[in-house]
Structure 1
Amino acid sequence: MNTLIELEQKLHNSTDRHNRDLLKELLHEDFFEFGRSGFSTNKLDTLTSLVNETPKTIYSENFHCAQLSDNTVLITYTSFEQQGGEKTKLTNRSSIWLKNSANQWQLRFHQGTPANL
């Protein structure tokens, strides 16, 4: 489970978010997201969006992992950004990770929902 939390947190790092090759490897071919913004995206849309976004730091905490099968894990957690030492954009997040035939974990589904501060 620690490996999956580390992979999830890689997706919060601006350097990794701008690395198209890494993103192509981590995102499942059928990746789908319900974003915090309310918009839905697929793998291609997400790749384009992340590699072109303004750098930012995303923090995450309160991870919970549930193994749904040998090759499927649900992760839930809270993320936020910071401005002036204050948490902003608090978001409840969930991700489903699948282990592929090459024994590598890939993000299949992600959802971000605005949360109350």
Structure 2
Amino acid sequence: MSFTLSKEDRTILTRLEEDMWREVTRFDQTFQEQRFAADFFEFGRSGRVYTRDQIIRLDPQPIHAVLPLPNLAIRLLDKNTAHVTYNSQVEYDGIIEYARRSSIWSRTESGWVMRFHQGTPYQP
């Protein structure tokens, strides 16, 4: 069975994924509480595993990521579950790090929430 992503959902999911890379939203407690699911976890680019509590941060830090997110693609796994993939290019202390990113988002009564995220390093 194939599911079709609406233009509205594509716009919302793209904005939400990019908001994870914008300081003004990424470090906003309300945004984080609303957008990370209660059972969220992440396999970080470093290989470490992070829980929701570990990923929610209140200490803003500069984020130097390329936006819009390169090669962003979204596909529905079912009518309420979306898989978002893209490549990230982020500068940390003058060094550019690249990663292939993958997020699973679930549609809830209060909007889309991120359930899972993974970053895998690569060199272009």
TM range (shorter): 0.7 to 0.9
Post-superposition shift, 1:81? 1.9
- Of 70, 83, 97 in structure 2, the residue corresponding to residue 61 of structure 1 is 70
- Of 33, 41, 61 in structure 2, the residue corresponding to residue 24 of structure 1 is 33
2 CA distance for matches of 1:39 and 1:22? 23
Question: Does 2:59 correspond to 1:52?
Answer: yes
Moved over 6 A (4+): none
1 CA distance for matches of 2:22 and 2:95? 17
1 CA distance for matches of 2:27 and 2:73? 26
Q: How many residues align?
A: 112
Post-superposition shift, 1:54? 2.4
Q: Aligned with 2:72: secondary structure?
A: strand
Q: Aligned with 2:100: secondary structure?
A: strand
Contact 1:30 1:108 in 2 (8 A): yes
- Of 7, 22, 26 in structure 2, the residue corresponding to residue 13 of structure 1 is 22
Post-superposition shift, 1:103? 4.7
- Of 85, 109, 119 in structure 2, the residue corresponding to residue 112 of structure 1 is 119
- Of 85, 92, 98 in structure 1, the residue corresponding to residue 100 of structure 2 is 92
Q: What is the TM-score of this pair, normalised by structure 1?
A: 0.87
- Structure 2 residue identity aligned to 1:71: N
Structure 1: state its 5+ residue gaps. Answer: none
Pick closer, same or farther for the CA change 1:74–1:35 going to 2, 3 Å: same
Pick closer, same or farther for the CA change 1:110–1:38 going to 2, 3 Å: same
In the alignment, which residue of structure 1 is the partner of 2:52? Answer: 43
1 CA distance for matches of 2:118 and 2:13? 16
Post-superposition shift, 1:53? 5.1
Structure 2: state its 5+ residue gaps. Answer: 1-9
Q: Aligned with 1:38: secondary structure?
A: coil
Post-superposition shift, 1:57? 2.1
2 CA distance for matches of 1:115 and 1:14? 24
2 CA distance for matches of 1:64 and 1:52? 30
